[in-house]
Structure 1
């Protein structure tokens, strides 16, 4: 759908959408326990927006194998938009094989998977309105242990060194009102997810706390910051609820990882989110555009495919940005050490 038509269609559908209120049912505290043999070190490869089935996805996956063979990778992260243009509706879809198992199976590590707006497509690809796409991915996790996704919202402790907190941001920044009215911004599901994240972070005793969601809090890419996505006029489209959700992690989480913009960006703690680093890794399958925003970043790469690699010890979190050239060569383009 042409983007200029989204405000008009959003206005029409919003006018017809009922207001949703009522009791908030707590989300289940779903946990994926990852066993890593070295309790003092964790290496993580971070991809996002990878599920294109294109040469770019294949090239970045091969580069990830190269880096993991040289430096080791214990866990992978997929930050959403695991399928383009839309996610499958059934766990037995062949797309799971061609876009994931065949491509990332050789890495032989578990991947913490996050749902994205293309995964939750409804009326058109990427509208983020139908959570049944994410639920098919939850079902697939029961068929392939490498795809870790016990729910749309879950946490994954790794010994006492780190804990990851996965949230589903797609209903909170959909281009149109979502299919399930209870999951619209400000509704019972949104409030329940906020309550879960706040409690999970508060209860965690992990040395490093990392939040994973598809939509970014901060980005200089074409989608922009939460609360101003794509210059769209309505709060449910522009990500006001995404900002509010992530705001619960500010100062509690050490790092917030997201995709959505097809770029590689790292931001030191900002005045709107003190105490928490944020990063975008959305260039593992599709690249496009150039810098649009003006927010100060410590690293940013546009129109170049690549991924992030993290190295965690009790004292340090190292973030590295890897860029993959057209000939498949992979280069470390930037590195940052965060000490604790």
Structure 2
């Protein structure tokens, strides 16, 4: 759907569907506890926008297996848009097998899963207007322990080494007003999720704090930064509420991970979000477009599929960017320690420092 069509449809539906205001009911503090073999080291594979069912998705999944075999993986992350063009409506959909179990089951690690706008499709694929798609994925998580998704908003501590904080950004940047009026930007659900994130981050004693959400705070890809997504005119479409939600984690989280743009990008702390690195890993199922924005990036790859790999210890947090060639072979495109102690330098291989 064109930008002008989205604007017109958004205007018409907004006029008929105002945001509901009212008392804020706290969100439940849902927790998924992750156990890893070595409590002092955590290795994480990070994919996003993978659920295309295409040869690209299969090639990237095979490349992920190769990297995990070479340098280890304890945990996976799926940053949303787990299914295209729209998420399944029930937990028994065969799509869970063909687009998750068959491809990532061989890794034999749990995946923290996050809903994206395609998962929460309503009127058309990717509009982000119907959270029932995410709820089908929550139900599937009860059937397959590898798919970790106890709710749309949850946290996942890994010993005292790391804690992941999952937020649902789909209702906060939907192309159409979301089906549940209380979940529209600025409404009770939005306020409750913000309150949950503030409290969860404040209570965490983990060495590394990482926020996970589908939409990016910063991106030079075609969707752009939160607050200006796609050049759309309405605040609920352009992600003002996403920007405000992530802003609560700036200087409190060490890293924010997202997808949505089908690229690989890493940004050092920005003036709008000091103290926190951000990264986009949205190229595990398809790629599209090139560099549109002008924000300075530590690393960025467009037009090539791929994924991220994180290594953590009490001393270091390292990010690796991998691209995947047409033959399925992964290539390390970039790596950097974004937090480190003096005795562990960037030139060392990841297993030595993380």
On whether the aligned pair clears a TM of 0.5, the verdict is yes
Q: Does 1:90 align with 2:90?
A: yes
Distance in 2 of aligned mates of 1:4 and 1:88:
28
Match of 1:266 in 2: 266
Whether contact under 8 Å (2:154, 2:166) holds in the other structure is yes
Distance in 2 of aligned mates of 1:235 and 1:196:
22
**Number of equivalences:** 340
Match of 1:199 in 2: 199
State the SS of the aligned residue for 1:164.
strand
Match of 2:107 in 1: 107
Distance in 2 of aligned mates of 1:311 and 1:334:
14
Match of 1:135 in 2: 135
Structure 1 residues not aligned, in runs of 5+? none
**Divergent runs of 4+, >2 A:** 1-4
Distance in 1 of aligned mates of 2:338 and 2:232:
35
Match of 1:228 in 2: 228
How does 1:171-320 map onto structure 2 within 5 Å? 171-320=171-320
- Per the TM alignment, residue 20 of structure 1 is displaced from its structure 2 partner at its CA by 1.0
Distance in 1 of aligned mates of 2:324 and 2:285:
11
Whether contact under 8 Å (2:45, 2:76) holds in the other structure is yes
Q: Tell me the alpha carbon deviations over residues 184-238 of structure 1, each in whole angstroms, 9 at most, x when there is no partner.
A: 0000000000000000000000000000000000000000000000000000000
Distance in 2 of aligned mates of 1:325 and 1:303:
11
Match of 2:338 in 1: 338
Match of 2:41 in 1: 41
Distance in 2 of aligned mates of 1:207 and 1:287:
34
- Per the TM alignment, residue 4 of structure 1 is displaced from its structure 2 partner at its CA by 2.4
Distance in 1 of aligned mates of 2:19 and 2:92:
36
Whether contact under 8 Å (2:19, 2:184) holds in the other structure is no
State the SS of the aligned residue for 1:43.
strand
Match of 2:117 in 1: 117
- If the length of structure 2 is used for normalisation, what is the TM-score? 0.95
Distance in 2 of aligned mates of 1:260 and 1:328:
22
State the SS of the aligned residue for 1:33.
coil
Q: Tell me the alpha carbon deviations over residues 61-83 of structure 1, each in whole angstroms, 9 at most, x when there is no partner.
A: 00000000000000000000000
Distance in 2 of aligned mates of 1:307 and 1:338:
17
Whether contact under 8 Å (2:19, 2:185) holds in the other structure is no
Structure 2 residues not aligned, in runs of 5+? 341-354
Distance in 2 of aligned mates of 1:19 and 1:58:
41
Distance in 2 of aligned mates of 1:74 and 1:313:
13
Distance in 1 of aligned mates of 2:329 and 2:10:
43
Distance in 2 of aligned mates of 1:289 and 1:154:
32
Distance in 1 of aligned mates of 2:69 and 2:96:
24
Whether contact under 8 Å (2:19, 2:186) holds in the other structure is no
- If the length of structure 1 is used for normalisation, what is the TM-score? 0.99
Distance in 1 of aligned mates of 2:215 and 2:99:
21
Q: Tell me the alpha carbon deviations over residues 21-48 of structure 1, each in whole angstroms, 9 at most, x when there is no partner.
A: 1110000000000011211100000000
